[in-house]
Structure formats: C-alpha cells, structure tokens
Amino acid sequence: MMTGADEIVIDEHIQVHRFVLNDLLTNGFVVQATDTGSLVIIDPGDRADDLIAAAEARGGDVRWILVTHLHGDHWAALAEVVNALGAPVVGPPDAPFKVDRAVIGGEDLHFAAHNIHVSATPGHSPESVSYHIDGHVFVGDFLFRLGSGRTDGGDASTEALLATVREVFPGLPDETTLWCGHGPPSTVGEERRGNPFWKIALEGDPPTPVDEVVYRGTTVPVIAWADDYDGGRKALLELGDGGRVIVPSSQVERP
C-alpha cells in the first residue's frame, strides 16, 4: 500500500491531511477548522484506522463524513469510520450505504464557524458532488490534476463534465485549492491555464484533431491529450456518432 504521499496543508482557516489510501492512489482526507477544532472526513475508502487515529488525535469532534461519489474506492471503509466516530454521513442519494443527509448540489452544511457548500459535479459519475470549504474544494474523481476522471463507464458523461467546468469553477479565485480524488492537488488557476480538457470546455474544440487512435476497433480522432495521475495519459476522443469520451491511454492503440 502506498502511503508516502500523505501530506498536511495548513492555511489561515483550514488544515487538510491527505491520506493516499491504496495502490490506486485514492485520496481520503481529514479536514480541521483551525479556529474551532471541528473536523470532517472525506472519502474514507481505506485505511480506516489511520483516518480514525488522525481524527482522534485532533480532538475527535467530527461533524460530518462526506462522500463525493459512489465508487467503492471512495467509501469502502465508511462503516468502520462511522462505527468509531459516530458522525453523520453526507453523500449522493441511492447510495449502497446509509446516508444521513443526501445531497445533489446546492446545499450548505454547517461546519462550526464555517460553511460547506455542495456543488453538483457530474462527468466521471452522474451523482458526483464536490465540497467547498473556504478556499478548498474536494472534487472526487471529477478532476485529476491537469486532466480528469474517465467518462467511458456506466452513466459517465463527457458533455456533463465539460459543462460543469463552465458552470461551477469560473467564479472561483485562481488560488482555490482543488483536492482531487486521486493524485496531487491543483488550483483553479493551474487548471484554467494548463488543463487541455478545461480549455476545450471554456474555449471550444481546437480547429483540427491532435492525433488519431484505434478505440474499440475503430480509428477515431483525438481532440486532446492530458496527463494522468498514475503517470499515463488520457485522451478526449471524437466518436463516429458525434459523441465524445475521455479514456485512459491503456484503452486505445495506434492505427
């Protein structure tokens, strides 16, 4: 299990302890308000003992346990954390676990002297939500630094992802920290300047494709390549039916 990338970031109002939970580099978080000591835990997908110990070492005043989306690597250790700490669970509706407060975006959660604003951030998964606490947004798999989660599974939607980029993030300051579901964090400014998928969302498609690949037996154009959190890349593809999809490079071949 990879744990070396765990980190603690402290600003004037919020302390964020990021845990790298497993070999997929899934992130879980213990977040503390520095003025009151109140805590939230976000995406307890593994390492329950470490998340619990971190919360207890910080006083144990856990107000909420927040889940960004319903993929198991983001909530598999939820029951253990709830049993130990007893905090109410916030997450999307229709979850395969007990949710004390279901959220779909637009809600505000009381967090001691702070506010947690919930935004709908579909794309990688339709039910995905992000949690905005002061200058920090916990975005789940909607975003990986300078890239995104894949959109080729289940009810994922590339168009929803691009629409969310346009609708949710432009109003946030450039210095806003974006805590991704896998890999290192980023900022709104960094993504605006350097994320190829965000540029397409905000500026439109480039005049010509940048590449072509074989996807599911058909040669298709690549609209953009982006780096991926695991050292690979992701491709935004234009499909024959006019749809678009974001896939890992492992899912495509050279013609």
pLDDT tens column, 4-24: 458 788 888 899 999 999 999
Residue (of 116, 120, 74) closest to 96 by Cα position:
74
Tens digits of residue pLDDT in 199-231: 999 999 999 999 999 999 999 999 999 999 999
Give the pLDDT of residue 12: 83
Give the pLDDT of residue 10: 81
Give the pLDDT of residue 19: 97
**Which of 3.40.50.2300, 1.10.238.10, 3.60.15.10, 3.40.50.720 is the CATH number of 7-207?**
3.60.15.10
What's the chain's Rg over C-alpha atoms?
Answer: 18
Q: Rounded mean pLDDT of 115-133?
A: 97
Tens digits of residue pLDDT in 51-101: 999 999 999 999 999 999 999 999 999 999 999 999 999 999 999 999 999
Judge contact between 132 and 179, C-beta under 8 A: no
> Mean pLDDT score of the chain, rounded to an integer?
95
Residue 253 CA from chain centroid, whole number: 27
Residue (of 29, 185, 174) closest to 116 by Cα position:
29
Which residues make beta-bridge pairs with 141?
Answer: none
Q: Dihedrals φ, ψ of 202, to 5°?
A: -90, -30
Confidence class of residue 3 from pLDDT cuts 50, 70 and 90?
very low
Q: How crowded is residue 106: how many other Cβ atoms within 10 Å of its Cβ?
A: 10
Fill in the DSSP letter of residue 182.
Answer: B
Give the pLDDT of residue 52: 97
